[in-house]
Every structure is written in structure tokens, then in C-alpha cells.
Amino acid sequence: MQRYKILHRTDYNFSGPVRLEPHTLRLRPREDYGLRIESSTLTITPPATLFWHRDVEGNSVAVATFDLTTNHLAIESEVVINQYNEAPLNFLVPNYAISYPFVYRSDDTVLLSPYMAMQENWKRTLLAEWIENCWQPGVRIQTYTLLHRICTFIHQTLSYQRREEPGVQTAEQTLSLGTGSCRDFAVLFMEAARQLGIASRFVSGYLHTPQSTTDSGATHAWTEVYLPGAGWKGFDPTIGEIVGADHIAVAVARLPETVSPVAGSFVGPQGSHLDVGVWVATC
């Protein structure tokens, strides 16, 4: 078991007094059999009223509403978790899905179909040709081996570039540019899996990297694919590895733009400055 303390600070400084509209916060990690929250505090200035719910994906969501005008908004989340996902390869896949290509059972397909739909309208031949670097159509291969091969291929052949600006590159843009951020690589892996008929979803969270500068001071993103018998399993193409104890998932979604840690608007003078800091430490 690993014990982590996560501190996530978000500061907005506005050019003048503003009225804050409701803000949606996705800052609480996803609890399951592998992750338990020991303590959690959320401090907001100016004071806010919080309404909690779980969204359609099962993410914990807080909606913050404000009464006061302000020229500064500060949101600080401090969470201590116990992480038990120390053996990510300890899973069983039924015989029909051990090798690729495979077809999901009909009951699963009904639920997984939204996670198998391609999100881009551009010619899919570019992505299909790129996938051929890892797999040739008609060749049977162990499903996990194929997914891990795509994950490591992204890590080895594309250049990581931290991007502060909002938004996510399409898979086509990432392949054309040869560079991307963690969220761009996650989308590329997600689209590649869907091209192969494997259900996948985007994950936003944190990564503990004590000896690395990868995404230091920021949130992290990766991809989960649905493997029969194993459930949703994470792959991180930014580091080329399967997701393990150092990954802490906060929110999952079919579309990456729907799981921003903090989302909201304000009414008042134009202009604002954003500072975000993330610290993940063992404790």
C-alpha cells in the first residue's frame, strides 16, 4: 500500500471586481477497491456553498456557488489517499479476449458503444496507417501485448511537450506535429484503441513522479481501455507504462474536454491570470 498526500491549488486573479458564476470542481479522487480516501479538505476563497453529486460517469463533482464579488478566487484541495494498485498486471481475461482481434459480448457492447465511437471526422486512414507500426491487419496478437506496444510506441516516437494553453489536440494533429502533452497522448491512444474496436476513455488525475519532471506541478492524463474480465485498465503513453500505484485517477470521461478540474465563468471586467500548482508526495 502507498500513502499519498495531494495538494492542488488554483488561483485566479481578475483585473477588477467580478461576480463569480457557479464553478464545477472535479478534484476528489475516484474511490474503488484499489484506492481509499483517508481525508479530504476543500478550501475556497471567497467562501462558497458546495453541492456534491456524482455525474453520469461516476465522478465526484462539487458545484460551488458564490454570493460575494471579488477580484481573486482561490481553490485549494488537500487529499490523503491509500493506494493499493501495486500489481496492475494481476488480472484475468477470458479466452475469447486474450488475443486480438476479439469481439465484446453483446451485453457489454450495448454499454461500451459510446466508448468505441471515433470522435474525429478526418480521414481515419492516417491513424490506421500509423497503427500498422504496431500491428498488421489479419495477424493475431495477445490483446495486452498490442495495447502495451501502442502505448510504448507513442512514448518512444513522439516528443512530450508540456502545454499550458487549454484544449486538446486531435490525434491527427499530434501525429502531424510529432509532439504533444500528456492529454494529447492520451487522446491519441484512446482514438487508436477505438480504431481497433476496443472501448476506451480519457482519465484526468495525478501522477507521483519523485525523480521526474514529467507533468511536475500539474495534473496528468492517461487512457483506460475495457478488457473483459479485467475491467477498465489504464495505460499511460506519456511514460509508456501500464497505470499503477503512482497514478491517482480523479475523473473519467468519453470526451476529454468534459473533465476539467475546475470549470466556471465570471461577470465583470475582462482579463484574468491563472496560477495552478500540484504537489503529490508520499506520506
Whether residue 267 lies inside any domain: the answer is: yes
pLDDT of residue 215: 42
Task: Kindly tell me if the per-residue pLDDT of 121 is higher than 60.
Answer: no
Whether residue 213 lies inside any domain: the answer is: yes
Nearest Cα to Cα of residue 191 among 273, 135, 271, 120: 120
Which of 135-139, 224-228, 236-240 shows the lowest per-residue confidence on average (mean pLDDT)? 135-139
Whether residue 194 lies inside any domain: the answer is: yes
Mean pLDDT of 93-104: 97
Quick one: how far is CA 182 from the chain centroid? 9
Strand-pairing partners, residue 241, are 236
Q: What is the percentage of the chain residues whose pLDDT exceeds 70?
A: 95
Whether residue 251 lies inside any domain: the answer is: no
Range of the domain at 25: 2-84+261-282
Task: Kindly tell me if the per-residue pLDDT of 261 is higher than 90.
Answer: yes
Quick one: how far is CA 29 from the chain centroid? 11
Query: Are residue 219 and residue 238 in the same domain, yes or no?
Result: yes
C-alpha distances (whole Å) from 227 to each of 154, 172, 203, 268 are 20, 26, 16, 48
Between 119 and 132, the more confident residue is 132
Cβ contact 86:244 at 8 Å? yes
Q: What is the percentage of the chain residues whose pLDDT exceeds 90?
A: 86
pLDDT of residue 165: 75
Query: Are residue 168 and residue 213 in the same domain, yes or no?
Result: yes
Q: 149-181 pLDDT, tens per residue?
A: 999 999 999 999 988 777 899 999 999 999 999
Whether residue 249 lies inside any domain: the answer is: no
Query: Are residue 265 and residue 237 in the same domain, yes or no?
Result: no
Query: Are residue 198 and residue 276 in the same domain, yes or no?
Result: no
Query: Are residue 190 and residue 129 in the same domain, yes or no?
Result: yes
The total domain count for the chain is 2
What is the DSSP track for 195-236?
HTT--EEEEEEEE--TT--TTTTS-EEEEEEEETTTEEEEEE
Whether residue 255 lies inside any domain: the answer is: no
Mean pLDDT of 95-101: 97
Query: Are residue 170 and residue 37 in the same domain, yes or no?
Result: no
Query: Are residue 65 and residue 112 in the same domain, yes or no?
Result: no
pLDDT of residue 217: 66
Here the CATH number for the domain that contains residue 39 is 2.60.40.2250
Query: Are residue 236 and residue 136 in the same domain, yes or no?
Result: yes
Mean pLDDT of 125-131: 89
Query: Are residue 55 and residue 119 in the same domain, yes or no?
Result: no
Here the CATH number for the domain that contains residue 225 is 3.10.620.30
AA letter at 112: L
Task: Kindly tell me if the per-residue pLDDT of 71 is higher than 60.
Answer: yes
Query: Are residue 106 and residue 136 in the same domain, yes or no?
Result: yes
Query: Are residue 99 and residue 205 in the same domain, yes or no?
Result: yes
Task: Kindly tell me if the per-residue pLDDT of 203 is higher than 70.
Answer: yes
Mean pLDDT of 51-61: 97
Query: Are residue 72 and residue 179 in the same domain, yes or no?
Result: no
pLDDT of residue 213: 45
Whether residue 89 lies inside any domain: the answer is: no
Whether residue 177 lies inside any domain: the answer is: yes
CA distance 256 to 17: 31
Q: Rounded to two decimals, what is the model's pTM? A: 0.94
pLDDT of residue 48: 98
Confidence of residue 86 (pLDDT cuts 50, 70, 90): confident
